[in-house]
């Protein structure tokens, strides 16, 4: 009974809380700019509206155009179930090497989204898909380095124990590296601008130009879950979660996620999107940050 | 032990198939499939049994007594050869039929059986001299298969390049086996880890087998051979033949004492192979060349596992070595299966449209639904995505590498490097196969050939579906596979005999099953639901552009543009650019071609240098009698001077 309850609670956390994050980011951006901005719950309204809408499919598209977003959504949900929510609560599923499964489920979501984007034969969507898969190369290296840092720090290869203690001296480096990965993986400024209407300059938004109705809702919801996943990861890899009591850990996690989200909003308010040729430079920086974090952690553990 | 009779049966079926191949295609098909299937059964018997099979003949052949053995390690490779030999024969029966290739099809059938048979012999022979004989016949059979379509110039030159590279490798192997026989006093092969004096010999084996495996700087022959060979041949070359090189490396790294530096070299070269191989693959515009370069990547992954296992042994038998080695051995299977599948798909596309150029294809899913579906499964598998087989083997390798890093020894540095390289290579593999799948099968047809394509027939579809089913099935039953892998690992290093299924692998098996049920269910539900909602069909929106043409689609080179920019230093693309000029520009184009950089910039100059020295020396040899007399006199004078000099002292 408890297991079922806790599973439902977790699902609620991931499914229901996630759409709040983009709302908070937009609110922060609006505040900084002195506007009132859309309501924090805007994405919920959008999702509800999209869910009722009809679907328009390109004449060229195969069934994978619809199946892709659904699979991507399910893959992200699967990845979230591997991420622990605080040391006491743990993850739904935890075993040695689950960290690799999490990375590859996110990769599966990337495959499904880009494949669905290529279905339409549109050059814009080709552009977006090409950027998405290419930037992921460096982001993946950074993620592996970050996960190795945690593994070295804790001597464990399971997310539940890897995320429990703080990273100590390498925390700042790791936080910076992971935060940059969060920005690129979730297509935020300075890598991508989710607010622009110039399709040529976008990654994620341009990939989903042709999607509509419920599949589009699945894409938006999946994206927000991914953002929440990274926010949870960043928070837990930096803070000493293992030292808090159960309630304290939950509060700290919530506050941490909030801080990361507000941070994304502030970055977006004060930075412009980079020119595309400078994006790899920033990505390489994030790889280097994570590698340095690894070296520092190595020294600390030795 | 029943494996012996099974192998005898299989070998004789294949010999008969080689003889019958020219005249009777149906008999050939039945015999080849039976021979491959029986060999597969023998391999599985050994893998899931407890004892190895060994046989020593009493009648000498070439001065040596025959010695065959089938242990866990060779059985893993034998099973792969069995599957691909059979599936490829079924595929070839339709793809390279008498009707379409009246002159080369009979030859092709006979050589196919010879190739399969000699690979099986390579895997079972445990005598250096006989090994070389089988190795040579395998190389030659592959040469004749690659050049089946010998009318085309590209095919002939690819064949010659293959033959030359293959023999350069064989030369190293001759030296290796001869020195081995000289030092041990017998041609017989078996475990000899205790004899530390044999250590340097492993470098020779690495060179010889590395050429065949297609390790990065030695891969020069591979892309053109695999791209220009008939597709069923490309499939077995990529899926099984290069695995013979891997087999050699795994086998002799298990039997010989290996210097630790060689293990480091294997890990580093394997990592670089993985990254650079897939970088080249991503930039290719030719579908089969892309697949060929991707094989370089996958061999890299496998060798990272083998090198890692060697490091673990040197590091006091660390348990993570089992994981990386098991992952590598599993990847041998997986790569064989999904690469065979992808090549079969590419062949079906080539058959239907007559082109391998991805920028001329597109939109084929409508006309080739079966091919498209199985190719998509292959793409998912090769990108290492759950819930297919490629993920499990890559996961095992990663888990081993992560364990190595947490163990905090000197080997951890190799593991960190390898993990980072494999991570980037994995992401690039995903990019390459999103590109390959979408350029060929999605969007609008980019030419008339693509618009009028036709689906493959029953035999070709059957072969593809079989391999696709195996890709799915092996991914779902990793704990079952582990039993076979554990036999291979134990054969490689006897100290690692007891290998219970790791708990984490059981968990992975569970999640794979759950995902395999959940993901299709979610997808199917979405499709039903949306279809019920009468999804309206309309033109691709394309930001409101109302008259799109197929040529406006993103092309293969543009998709890979950013990444090929990163790897420009080694890809060295050749660019032909004609900018639009004047007020009403009519003609403008931009052509980008990726040359065979390693071949053109490294091997060819070295070959040129050798040729120059050789032709310089040839000037001594010009046929004028006076000069020859002068040589003789000069030689005599020099000899006399030496003798006199010695006498005076």
Residue spans of the domains in chain B: they are 1-258, 262-521
- Distance between CA atoms of B18 and B115, rounded to whole angstroms? 9
Find out whether B189 and B126 touch, Cβ atoms under 8 Å: yes
The secondary element (H helix, E strand) that includes residue A42 is helix A42-52
Quickly state the pLDDT bin for B299 (edges 50, 70, 90). very high
- Distance between CA atoms of A124 and A226, rounded to whole angstroms? 23
Look up tokens 């599948």; give the residue.
Answer: B341
Size of interface A-B (CB pairs under 8 A): 250
Q: Where are the domains of chain A?
A: 2-301
Chain B CB contacts of A144 under 8 Å are 419-420, 422-423
pLDDT at A127 over 80: yes
Q: For residue B556, give both structure tokens.
A: 């293969």
- Distance between CA atoms of B73 and B80, rounded to whole angstroms? 12
pLDDT at B498 over 70: no
Question: Smallest Cβ distance to B536: which of A55, A97, A121?
Answer: A55
Residue of A nearest to B427 (CA): A137
Cα four-point dihedral sign B364, B369, B375, B379: positive
- Distance between CA atoms of B474 and B480, rounded to whole angstroms? 9
Residues B598-603: what's their mean pLDDT?
85
Residues B468-489: what's their mean pLDDT?
94
Residue B532 has what pLDDT?
A: 65
Q: Min CA distance, A250 vs chain B (Å)? A: 27
Q: Min CA distance, A146 vs chain B (Å)? A: 10
Residue B181 has what pLDDT?
A: 93
Chain B CB contacts of A98 under 8 Å are 507
Residue B649 has what pLDDT?
A: 66
What are the phi and psi torsion angles at B537 (to 5°)?
-100, 135
pLDDT at B638 over 80: yes
Quickly state the pLDDT bin for B124 (edges 50, 70, 90). very high
Q: Which of B141, B91, B184, B109 is nearest to B458 (CA)?
A: B91
Chain B CB contacts of A302 under 8 Å are 408
Judge if ipTM > 0.90.
yes
Chain B CB contacts of A206 under 8 Å are none
Q: Which 3 state secondary structure label does DSSP give B433?
A: helix
pLDDT-wise least confident of A32-36, A84-88, B410-414, B416-420: A84-88
Residue B607 has what pLDDT?
A: 87
pLDDT-wise least confident of B167-181, B229-243, B598-612: B598-612
Q: Higher-confidence residue: B303 or B533?
A: B303
- Distance between CA atoms of A128 and A206, rounded to whole angstroms? 6
Average pLDDT of chain B to the nearest whole number: 92
* pLDDT over 90 percentage in chain B: 72
Q: Min CA distance, A32 vs chain B (Å)? A: 31
Which residues share a beta bridge with B575?
B592
Task: Tell me, letter by letter, the H, E, C secondary structure of B372-434.
Answer: HHHHHHHHHHHCCCCCCHHHHHHHHHHHHHHHHHHHCCCHHHHHHHHHHHHHHHHHHHHHHHH
Quickly state the pLDDT bin for B496 (edges 50, 70, 90). confident
Q: Which of B614, B398, B623, B591 is nearest to A104 (CA)?
A: B398
Q: Which of B471, B381, B515 is nearest to A76 (CA)?
A: B515
Residue B500 has what pLDDT?
A: 78
CB contact under 8 A, B543 and A209: yes
């Amino acid at each position: 009974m408890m297991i079922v309850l806790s599973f439902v609670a977790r699902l609620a956390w991931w499914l229901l809380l996630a759409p709040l994050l983009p709302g908070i980011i937009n609110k922060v951006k609006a505040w900084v700019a002195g506007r009132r901005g859309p309501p924090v719950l805007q994405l919920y309204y959008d999702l509800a509206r999209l869910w009722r809408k009809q679907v328009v499919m390109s004449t060229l598209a195969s069934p994978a155009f619809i199946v892709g977003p659904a699979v991507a959504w399910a893959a992200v949900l699967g990845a979230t179930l591997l991420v622990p929510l605080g040391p006491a609560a743990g993850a739904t599923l935890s075993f040695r090497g689950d960290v690799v499964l999490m990375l590859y489920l996110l990769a599966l979501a990337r495959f499904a989204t880009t494949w669905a984007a290529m279905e339409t034969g549109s050059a814009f969507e080709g552009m977006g898909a090409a950027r998405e898969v290419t930037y992921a190369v460096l982001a993946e290296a950074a993620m592996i380095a970050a996960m190795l840092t945690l593994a070295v720090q804790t001597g464990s290869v399971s997310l539940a124990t890897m995320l429990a203690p703080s990273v100590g001296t390498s925390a700042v480096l790791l936080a910076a590296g992971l935060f940059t990965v969060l920005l690129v993986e979730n297509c935020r400024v300075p890598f991508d601008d989710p607010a622009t209407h110039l399709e040529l300059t976008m990654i994620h938004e341009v990939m989903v130009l042709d999607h509509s109705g419920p599949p589009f809702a699945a894409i938006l919801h999946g994206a927000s879950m991914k953002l929440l996943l990274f926010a949870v990861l960043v928070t837990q890899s930096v803070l000493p979660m293992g030292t808090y009591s159960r309630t304290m850990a939950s509060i700290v996690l919530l506050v941490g996620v909030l801080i990361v989200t507000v941070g994304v909003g502030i970055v977006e308010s004060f930075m412009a999107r980079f020119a595309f040729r400078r994006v790899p430079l920033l990505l390489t920086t994030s790889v280097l940050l994570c590698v340095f974090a690894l070296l520092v952690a190595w020294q600390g553990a030795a | 032990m029943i494996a012996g009779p099974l192998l005898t049966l299989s070998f004789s079926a294949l010999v008969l198939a080689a003889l019958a191949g020219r005249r009777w295609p149906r008999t050939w098909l039945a015999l080849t499939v039976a021979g491959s299937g029986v060999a597969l059964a023998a391999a599985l018997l050994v893998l899931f049994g407890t004892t190895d099979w060994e046989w020593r003949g009493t009648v000498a052949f070439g001065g040596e007594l025959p010695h065959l053995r089938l242990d866990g390690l060779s059985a893993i490779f034998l099973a792969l050869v069995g599957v691909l030999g059979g599936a490829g024969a079924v595929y070839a029966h339709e793809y390279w039929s008498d009707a379409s290739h009246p002159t080369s099809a009979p030859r092709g059938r006979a050589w196919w059986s010879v190739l399969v048979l000699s690979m099986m012999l390579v895997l079972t022979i445990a005598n250096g001299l006989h090994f070389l004989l089988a190795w040579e016949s395998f190389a030659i059979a592959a040469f004749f298969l690659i050049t089946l379509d010998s009318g085309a110039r590209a095919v002939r030159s690819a064949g010659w390049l293959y033959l030359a590279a293959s023999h350069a490798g064989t030369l190293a192997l001759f030296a290796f086996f001869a020195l081995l026989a000289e030092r041990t006093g017998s041609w017989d092969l078996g475990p000899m880890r205790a004899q530390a004096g044999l250590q340097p010999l492993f470098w020779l084996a690495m060179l010889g087998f590395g050429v065949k495996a297609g390790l990065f700087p030695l891969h020069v022959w591979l892309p053109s051979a695999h791209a220009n060979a008939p597709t069923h041949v490309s499939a077995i070359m990529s899926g099984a033949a290069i695995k013979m090189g891997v087999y050699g490396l795994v086998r002799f790294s298990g039997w010989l004492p290996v210097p630790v530096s060689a293990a480091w070299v294997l890990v580093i070269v394997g990592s670089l192979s993985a990254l650079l191989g897939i970088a080249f693959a991503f930039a290719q515009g030719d579908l089969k060349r892309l697949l060929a370069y991707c094989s370089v990547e996958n061999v890299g992954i496998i060798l990272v596992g083998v090198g890692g296992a060697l490091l673990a042994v040197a590091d006091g038998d660390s348990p993570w070595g089992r994981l990386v080695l098991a992952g590598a051995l599993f990847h041998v299977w997986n790569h064989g299966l999904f690469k065979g599948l992808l090549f079969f798909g590419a062949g079906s596309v080539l058959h239907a449209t007559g082109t391998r150029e991805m920028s001329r294809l597109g939109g084929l899913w409508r006309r080739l639904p079966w091919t498209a579906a199985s190719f998509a499964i292959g793409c998912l598998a090769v990108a290492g995505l759950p819930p297919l087989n490629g993920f499990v083997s890559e996961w095992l390798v990663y888990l081993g590498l992560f364990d190595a890093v947490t163990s905090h020894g000197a080997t951890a540095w190799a593991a960190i490097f390898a993990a980072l390289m494999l991570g980037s290579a994995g992401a690039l593999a995903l990019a390459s196969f999103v590109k390959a799948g979408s350029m060929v099968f999605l969007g609008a047809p980019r030419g008339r050939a693509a618009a009028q394509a036709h689906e493959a027939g029953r035999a070709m579809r059957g072969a593809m579906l079989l391999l696709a089913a195996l890709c799915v099935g092996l991914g779902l039953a990793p704990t079952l596979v582990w039993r076979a892998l554990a036999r291979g690992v134990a054969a490689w290093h006897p100290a690692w005999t007891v290998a219970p299924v790791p708990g984490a692998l059981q968990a992975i098996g569970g999640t794979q099953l759950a995902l395999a049920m959940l993901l299709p269910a979610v997808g199917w539900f979405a499709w039903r639901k949306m279809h019920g909602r009468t999804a309206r069909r309309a033109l691709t929106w394309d930001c409101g552009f109302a008259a799109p043409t197929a040529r406006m689609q993103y092309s293969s080179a543009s998709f890979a543009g950013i990444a090929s920019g990163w790897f420009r230093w080694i890809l060295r693309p050749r660019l032909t650019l004609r900018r639009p000029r004047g007020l009403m520009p009519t003609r403008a184009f931009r052509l980008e071609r990726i040359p065979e950089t390693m071949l053109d910039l490294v091997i060819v100059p070295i070959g040129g240098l050798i040729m120059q020295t050789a032709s310089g020396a040839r000037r001594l040899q010009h046929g004028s009698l006076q000069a020859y007399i002068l040589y003789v006199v000069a030689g005599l004078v020099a000899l006399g001077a030496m003798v006199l000099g010695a006498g005076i002292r």
